[in-house]
Structure formats: C-alpha cells, structure tokens
Structure 1
Amino acid sequence: MNTLSRRNFLHGSALIGVSVAAAAMTPMAAVAAGPKNCRSVKEVFSMSDVDMAKNSEVVQSAYDTIVNVAKKINNSSLRSSILSILENPAPSIAEGNEAGILSSLKKEKLIASDAKAIFPRIQNKKQSPQPFWSAPGSGYGSHHAYPGGLATHTALNVVSAQALYENYRHINNLDLDWDDAVGGEILHDLHKPWVFQWEKNHACRVEQTLAGTGEHHVLSVAESIKRGIKPSLVVAQACAHEHPSSKQGEALVVGWLKAASIIAGVDPVKSGLLAADQKTLPLPRRMEGYVVHLADHDWVISSSACQWSVQALKDLAKEQYGITDETQFNAFRNYVLANLTAMRLYGILSSQGRKAFAADVARVIKL
C-alpha cells in the first residue's frame, strides 16, 4: 500500500465522517460497550476459538451487518452467490489439479520456484474449515487477530465502502456500480477462514505468499472467478491490496488476476478480467476498484492497535490473572478481543490508561 492510497483514504474518511456523525451507536458498538457475559479464565481455557466467536455478541452483530448489506445487492443472482459464500466460504478452487496449477504458476513466476503446494489444508472441499464469522481478520501478529476478527474488519470496510460510494456520488456526481464497489468489499477476504485456520495453541495458521501478496487475496479472487461472479466485480475485488494508478501498482493487480485465473482454470482475457495484452486491467479502468481499495484501509490503524493491545493484555494476564503459559494466554487474549475488540481496547488504553484498560477487560473475564 503506498502513500497515495493513504492520502486519498484519509481524504475520503473526512467525508465518511459526515455520515457516521449523524448515526446512532451501532448494535456492534453497543454490545462491546455493555457485554452481558463474564467468564472465568478456567471456562475460557476450555473454549474453542469458534465457540468464542459464536458466543460473542460483538462478532455476531458484525456478521449481521455484513449479511444485511449483502441482502441489498441489486442483482438477484449476484446477491444469492454472495450470501451463499458468507454462509459457507468453501474452497471450490481446491478441487482443481493442484500439481498442474502449481506448475503453471511457477512458469509465470507467480509463486516461489521451490513452492510445494498452493492450497491450505482442507478435509472437505465443499465445506469451509470454519465459519466466516469465526476467522481472524489477519495473521496472528497483524490486524483483528482474534476469533471473529474477520467479521469486525469486514463490517467496518463494508460500511466504509458504502459511505465512499455515496460520497463520490454526492460530491463528484459519479455513477458507480454499487454492486461492484460494495460486493467487491464483502468478498475481498472470503478465504481467510481457509487460510487462517485455528491451531491447537489458539494461534492461527501462518499465511504463505502468492503472486507477491498474502495468499488469502489471490485465493479469494480465484474463488470469486470459479463461482461465476461477474468480471467487473472480480476486478474491483482484486484491487483491495493495490490500485492501478501506477505501472507498478497495476502490474501487481494484473499478476493477482493472472494467478487467480490459473487457479480457477479460466482465460483472463476471454473472461473479461484483463485487457487483450494482459498488461492492464480492462480499459477504460473502472473506479469501483478504488472504492474497494480505499475502504480496505482499516488495516492501517488496526494492525498497530491489535499489536499494542495484545502487549498490554500480556502484561495484564501475567500481573492480574497469573497467566504465563503461551497457549493459555492465546486463549485469554482471543476471548477478550472477541468480546471487546482490539480497536476498542486500544482506544481505551491510549485515551484513559492501563487502569481503565484493565477494568474493561474485567467486564468479560475473571479469575
């Protein structure tokens, strides 16, 4: 992500503020501010990460936000496809010939020459290894790294995409495709439940690199292609990690679409994903991808907020709860963050200090 992206995002955020300021506290924020359940550390240690997300009102409210927006997709077939993916983001792409795909990716220099596999482990290719709503938002050292983090991350991004769409319409009189802009954001991380599977120690699987970015991105785009999502939305979705305003940036997006097309078993040009020379996106370039890209910038603050919150939780776990074992701490932090979110906790830590931070944690977990 480059400086241009962040500058444009911050400009867009000022406009988004107009919409947000007028809104009441969302159900997600309300349940984070007033959690109903307080469990003992012993209870938490016995919970699975999926159960933590399932029993979190914050996570379920965030997921409801995403689903409710998905229900507003105008095209009925597209709406049905997106809702189906949210319900079960099964990796249908894993049914492809992995050896042949790996060979093609290596030939195009889209994966490391010594790579042995493409796909994360999967037992049932027709069933996601976990629900969409229980996955973390990213790797264990990055943003929203807790059960349900994907839901809280995506909920904010989807709301941001809607606001950006409206802001560009009202300020610039742009007639963008709402389904592509918002739908692309809903689907942008659809395979994080597959990539970031929970491990026995309550950490998640380590992500691999594919076509120069985290594998979840390319695998998600490939899944959209495989499921017949319309090309213009897939192109917008592919822009989540970069925008095509520079040759270098566009080359990255083109590479992701090429890799995703190989995995999905389609010709990217005939499928309407790339221009005829396979060097650019279809021309003229559409703007919906920029909405997806800018709306995905939640990571800019949430990565650091999660890391700083986790460090404060580690100190607190040792000092007040006597937790020093890594697996037990992972369970402790996962449960706390699933119920309060890393963003909320860091907001308290940064504005009110460690005493207020500890008091907020004590609302959901006790000795």
Structure 2
Amino acid sequence: MGIHPKLQSILRKIRDENLRKKVMELLENPVFEADGKTYSGLPLDSSPAGLSHHHSYPGGFIEHVVSSTNIALALCNSVEKIYGGKVNRDIVIAGILLHDLFKPLTYTEKEDGRYDTTKLADYMDHLSLAVSELVRRNFPLELIHVVSAHHGNHGPIKPRTVEALICHLADMADSRLNGEVLNVAAYLVRKVTGEEIPSLTAKEAFEILRSKTLEGLEGVAKTVEKIKRRRTRKA
C-alpha cells in the first residue's frame, strides 16, 4: 500500500531532498524488527491515533497528522512573522509526520471493532519504537529530538529547540481539540438517547455540536438518527 495522498501532500512540503527521501521510505514501510521478527501494525490509512482519549476511531491517525501539521505551520508563521524567530520547517514537518508513526504497531482491532494493544506494546511504547528506529536509520539528531520530546513534560525529555516546541504544542492542541469535542458530543448523545455511538468520529462530533447550537437537543436527536442511517448505508 502506498503513502496516503494527504501524507504525500505534507511530505512534498519538505524541501531538503535527502530528508524527504528518508521520511518517505519510513512512511512507505513503518515496521520494527527485533529478535529476528518483523512487527507491522494496522494500516496507517485506517488506524486510530489513540485508544480512548483522542482520535480513537478508524482514520484517526491520518486526521491527527494532517490537523497537527496545519497547527504546526501556523505556529511557524507566528514565530517568524510576529516574534522574528527562525524555524527549520523541514524538521517541523518531518517531526509531525513521524511523531506517532509507530502507534499503529501497538494497536490491534478486535472482532467487535474496538481496539486493543498488541504484544509488542507490552515491551515498547510507540515513542521508544520511533526513536530507536530513527536512530537506526541515521536520521538527523535534531529531528530525533523533536520526536522524542513531543510529549513535553510527560515524555522522556522536554522540548529544547523551537522546532520541538512547535511540534509538541501542535500535537497537544490537536489531541486536546479532538478529545474534547468527542467528549462533549458523547455527553449530548447520552443525554438525548441514553445510548452511545460506537467509534464516534470527530467529524460526527462537530456535526452534533453544530446541531445543538442551531436546534438545541432536538437537533442533536435528529443528527444522531442521521448519523445512524448514514452508517447503515455504508455497512
């Protein structure tokens, strides 16, 4: 399977040809080798980017990378145009593309459509997997730092470059935005129907919030029914 078109579009923004090639090769084949075994995970196109807190639905990984890239580039503009700073955008873009790349290796889909962790995840988390693979493939140290620091205070090292700080803030902002809208929408659905919509997506969640703004709880009820009918047609 080739690289998702949306990831290809982001990849083309990397101006340094050598870095772009290295990132492309990893995106094309995000696997991890240990003890003579090769570990591969869920396809990037359909993988979530989280199990519960954010982007915890099919396609969540791609959405998270695309949205985080938009936020990161906006932060680059602020640093450069407002604060007069300098940013290596190639490192920022590569960092966003790679920061969660090994999450799909730690996820597996169960028969009921829910997600769980893999055996590999019992030994290494996605951040450790990513950093070890970037080191093995001789990626620039500056980029390795961006990936290793993207969890901020909750990771093994805090961001110590402008590029790492931008990637951390972009990742955190998008994760928080996604998680919060899913929580609010899920609350509204429970309040109106007493039920939950399994694997609620952010697009559906924003649709529900918009209906609440326009028509109140009655609008939420209508939107929930519309979402159910739409899912039934796709099944």
Report which stretch shifted further, 76-85 or 304-313.
304-313
Q: Does 1:175 align with 2:86?
A: yes
- Specify the code of the residue in structure 2 equivalent to 1:135: S
- RMSD of Structure 2 on Structure 1 (CA): 3.3
Aligned to 2:28: 87
Q: Counterpart amino acid of 1:238?
A: S
Q: Distance in 2 between matches of 1:288 and 1:228?
A: 19
Of the candidates 117, 128, 134, which is equivalent to residue 40 of structure 2? Answer: 128
Shift of 1:96: 5.0
One-letter code aligned to 1:358? V
Q: 1:1-367 residue pairs with structure 2 within 5 A?
A: 63-91=4-32, 94-95=33-34, 125=38, 128-139=40-51, 141-206=52-117, 215-242=125-152, 249=153, 252-254=155-157, 285-296=160-171, 297-310=173-186, 333-334=198-199, 337=201, 341-348=203-210, 350-352=212-214, 353-362=219-228, 364-366=230-232
Q: CA deviation at 1:64?
A: 2.7
Q: Which amino acid in structure 2 is aligned with residue 286 of structure 1?
A: T
Say which SS state the counterpart of residue 62 (structure 2) adopts.
helix
SS in structure 2 opposite 1:197?
strand
Name the aligned partner's letter for residue 49 of structure 2.
Answer: G
Verify the 8 A CA contact 1:348 1:356 in the aligned structure 2. no
Q: Distance in 1 between matches of 2:136 and 2:142?
A: 14
Change (3 A) 1:205 1:164: same
- Do the aligned residues in 2 keep the contact of 1:196 with 1:206 (CA within 8 Å)? yes
What are the superposed Cα offsets for residues 210-234 of structure 1, whole Å, 9 maximum, x if unpaired? 8xxx922222222222222211011
Give TM-score scaled by structure 1 length: 0.53
Taking structure 1 as reference, are residues 252 and 135 closer, same or farther at Cα in structure 2, changes over 3 Å only? closer
CA contact (8 A) 2:44 2:62 kept: yes
Distance in 1, matches of 2:63 and 2:187, equals: 20
1:10-31 deviation line (CA, Å, top 9, x unaligned): xxxxxxxxxxxxxxxxxxxxxx
Q: Which residue of 2 aligns with 1:47?
A: none
Give the distance between the partners of 2:107 and 2:96, measured in 1 at CA.
Answer: 19
Note closer, same or farther for the CA distance 1:75–1:129 as it changes in structure 2 (3 Å cut).
same
1:270-314 residue CA offsets vs partner (Å, 9 max, x unmatched): xxxxxxxxxx98xxx421100101111212132132244446567
List alignment gaps of at least 5 residues for structure 1: 1-53, 55-62, 98-123, 243-248, 255-279, 320-328
Q: Output the TM-score relative to the length of structure 2.
A: 0.79
Residue identity matched to 2:34: E
Return the offset for 1:181: 1.3
Query: Which has the higher Rg, Structure 1 or Structure 2?
Result: 1
The Cα shift of 1:160 comes to 1.0
> Once the two structures are superposed, what CA deviation does each residue of 1:105-146 show, in whole Å capped at 9, x if it has no partner?
xxxxxxxxxxxxxxxxxxx61x6332112111201x221111
Q: Which runs of 5+ in 2 are unaligned?
A: none
Contact 1:88 1:131 in 2 (8 A): no
Paired residues of 2:55 and 2:64 also in contact (CA < 8 A): yes
| Residue-by-residue CA offset, 1:54-89 (whole Å, 9 max, x unaligned) | 9xxxxxxxx533321112212212212222222331
CA shift at 1:316, angstroms? 8.0
Inter-partner Cα distance in structure 1 for 2:115 and 2:161: 36
Cα pair distance change 1:349/1:201, threshold 3 Å: same
Q: Structure 1: which amino acid aligns with 2:42?
A: Q
Is contact 2:192-2:221 (8 Å) kept? no
AA partner of residue 210 (structure 2): I
Check conservation: 2:41, 2:106, Cα contact below 8 A.
no
Measured at CA, do residues 198 and 286 of structure 1 come closer, stay the same or move farther in structure 2, by a change above 3 Å?
same
Report the Cα distance in structure 2 between the residues aligned to 1:77 and 1:190, rounded to whole angstroms: 19
